[in-house]
Chain A
Amino acid sequence: MSIKSGIRKVRSAMVALTTSALIALPALAGTAMAGELVINTDSSFPAVKKAFQSAVTGFEQENPDIKVTWNVFDNEAYKSAIRNFLSAESPDLATWFAGNRMLPYVNAGLFAPIDDVWAENGLDKTLKAAESAVTFNGTKWAVPYTYYQWGVYYRKDLFAKFGIDVPTTWEEFKAAGAKLQENGVTPVAIGTKFPWTAAGWFDYLNLRTNGYDFHMAVTRGEIPWTDERIRKTMGHWEELLKAGFFLENHAAYSWQEALPALVNGDAGMYLMGNFIVAPLQEAGLTEDQLGFFQFPAIDPAIAMAEDAPANTLHLAAGARNVAEAKKFLAYIARADVQTRMNEIMGQLPVNAKSSVSDDPYLQAGFKMLSNVDGGLAQFFDRDASAAMAKAGMEGFQEFMVKPERLDKVLARLETVRQRQTQ
């Protein structure tokens, strides 16, 4: 560390020298600017790393005068490292997540606004899908470069065998589940040992019962948890719990440990993000067996909104190479770049003009998300603050195991919310 800070000092001294030289010789400033760009990413996973590699290489080819320094962090370590490096030795660009998850850094003045990048490149049209997720107080704070859909993954073959159609309404959904139960199949697989999976159900039930704006107000902590409308959401959840919709002993399984139920045909559906497809295909489920459908409507008057967590690239407030960084932001927002990156990652490009790989699940997700009127949520643990998300997810898990404790759970969540808003 001491060596590092030494280097840091030398480096900042050098920067100071160059800047003073530039001030002294303004005429030369234009030509003397050797382009440099420092990007920190949390992409230690092979596919994500490869995708960023292709983006960085492509950028350097297009801009031979800019030298890119690209630091790859371990995904978990990045979450604590970002606080350090943004305030100590700032890179120019850093990856992070959309939604309320970025607010602490926005509020602390560690991310810089990039409205000009959005305006100059017409991103409000091309990146419309995730625009609301990177906007705060009317200002744009990031460029989203990838996202993925959530929805219900189901056993197509079992549905066909029992004569069940893909449900589009709440009644149809409950009927489909009842039909599966008649045939000895648990309607829904879920593992809530790590309780974020239960939050997926809350997100969807609340989005479908009360709509996007209300759901976002809840996650921002503006609505009391004891509100009647939240009770209505929980009431829908309780219907399913009472009917025995969910896998027994779900609190003993992680989300992966609940997968065998779907693979072996003991369960018919799984509400999950698109990353569920890879392990299921590896386990032998074909496209004829595994299908995808949008979470059914509950209140037809409410516009459909979806969970679609986006990953984003941010301009650091302490960036030294702002012009180069903005160039890279515009570059990574481009349709062709997002097509290539997401092809490698197996995810969805945010740019509406990008093309999506032939994968049927990505195609289905792309189609669904392109027609969303309600808005895109980022998932409960990204939309809510860290403390609220933790308490919320634990509460949902408890509710799923002991529905009769609903009042207690909601009262506890309300205490956490009030502590936060004070």
Chain B
Amino acid sequence: MFPTPIDKTSSATRVAYKVALPVALLLWLLPLLAVALTSVRSSADITSGNYWGWPTSFNLVENYTAIFTNSPLAAYLLNSFKVTIPAVLGAIALSSLTGFALGIYKFRSNLFVFFLFVAGNFIPFQILMVPVRDLSIQLGVYNSIYALILFHIAFQTGFCTLFMRNFIRTLPFDLIEAARIEGVSDLRIFWYVVLPLMRPALAALSVLVFTFVWNDYFWATVLTQGAHAQPITAGIKSLNGEWIAAWHLVSAGSVVAALPPVLMFFLMQKHFIAGLTLGAVK
């Protein structure tokens, strides 16, 4: 069997494994630990250069209260939900339709259209910055959550279509043919036959797209300004003062901002792992 299970290897390998694993894990998690630790520090610790040592005082409650009382962080957090949820729903809805069309119908330009969707994923999105900003101004949605929702739906649909189309391809085609013979309309086939079978893919993709959209910083700063529309990734900087960067508050804000996708992941973990291997084996 490859790879050989650790407990069947030589004792030297096993010892090395047991030593290396925690070290690698610690190294890997060090930045996260630093953020978590900084989020409970006092600003005094930071000014006196105590970045890695034991905090002189634990300000868990103070810091996490301060970020909600001294800055519009709650508004930013709400914006994040207002952007992410419609964007996820929109991208999933569109891509299950496109996935259905590309997976089921046999037409000449099928592969070409499919490649168009896939090719979209290979465009470095930074080069879209200026045109998308101009477009959003012309559509009158610049500096509003709609700019972000529309962009994320459009951009995520490419990847989601790839995922959905490949998943639908793995479904037994007989099911669809059987329904067709019965004279069921295509829309009803989609709704009653394909969609229920796609549930694991839908769940997995939702989690994935949720984290993509939630963690977006680039478009949040390009398309929106201020607490009325910016999501939390961009809003964290509002925790800094006019001259003084309040790293302890920024860290606390980052932890808060990271919670929803983490929670989402743990709640949907079963679907997520299932989704990763979907279509990998027949």
Contacts and interface: CB of A to CB of B under 8 A. Distances in A.
Query: Interface centre among B44, B46, B47, B71, by most A CB within 10 Å?
Result: B47
B241 A280 contact: no
Contact of B48 (A75, A80, A283): A283
B7 interface: no
Contact of B244 (A44, A73, A256, A260): A256
A1 B226 CA distance: 14
A197 B168 CA distance: 60
B225 A74 contact: yes
Contacts of B91: none
Interface string A213-242: 000000000000000000000000000000
Contact of B141 (A1, A275, A279, A282): A1
B49 interface: yes
Interface in A90-110: none
A61 interface: no
B39 to A, nearest CB: 17
Contacts of A75: 242
B77 to A, nearest CB: 16
B42 A45 contact: no
B49 A264 contact: yes
B143 to A, nearest CB: 7
A256 B43 CA distance: 11
A138 interface: no
Contacts of B46: 256
B141 A254 contact: no
Interface string A30-54: 0000000000000011101000000
B92 interface: no
A259 B47 contact: yes
Contacts of A76: 237
A74 B242 CA distance: 10
Nearest to A263: B48
Given A74-B226, A283-B44, A263 B49 contact: yes
Interface string B48-72: 1100000000000000000000110
A180 B106 CA distance: 83
B47 A282 contact: yes
B48 A44 contact: no
B71 to A, nearest CB: 8
A273 interface: yes
B47 A275 contact: no
B227 interface: yes
B222 to A, nearest CB: 13
B227 A74 contact: yes
A278 interface: yes
B166 interface: no
Contacts of B237: 76
- B interface, by DSSP: helix, strand, loop or mixed? loop
A421 interface: no
B242 A260 contact: no
B225 A275 contact: no
B215 interface: no
A279 B242 contact: no
Contacts of A264: 48-49
A2 interface: yes
A290 B141 CA distance: 51
A282 B42 contact: yes
B186 to A, nearest CB: 37
A73 B230 CA distance: 13
**On chain B, which size bracket covers the interface?**
20 to 34
A155 to B, nearest CB: 13
A411 interface: no
A279 B49 contact: no
A260 B237 CA distance: 23
B100 interface: no
Contacts of B137: 1
B144 interface: yes
Query: Interface centre among B142, B238, B243, by most A CB within 10 Å?
Result: B243
Contacts of B227: 74
Given A1-B141, A256-B47, A279-B43, A45 B225 contact: no
A75 B144 CA distance: 19
B49 A260 contact: yes
Given A1-B142, A45-B241, A263 B225 contact: no
Contacts of A64: none
A16 interface: no
A280 B137 CA distance: 45
A412 B177 CA distance: 74
A260 B47 contact: yes
A258 to B, nearest CB: 10
A43 to B, nearest CB: 9
Query: Interface centre among B70, B140, B237, B241, by most A CB within 10 Å?
Result: B241
Contacts of B70: 46
B43 A282 contact: yes
Nearest to B66: A46
A229 to B, nearest CB: 31
Nearest to A1: B140
B243 A260 contact: no
A273 B46 CA distance: 19
B245 interface: yes
A45 B239 CA distance: 9
A256 B44 contact: no
A267 B114 CA distance: 64
8 contacts: A2-B140, A74-B225, A74-B227, A256-B47, A275-B243, A278-B244, A279-B43, A282-B42
Interface of A: 1-2, 44-46, 48, 73-77, 80-81, 254, 256, 259-261, 263-264, 273, 275, 278-280, 282-284
Given A256-B244, A283-B44, 6 more contacts: A45-B241, A45-B242, A74-B225, A256-B47, A259-B47, A279-B43
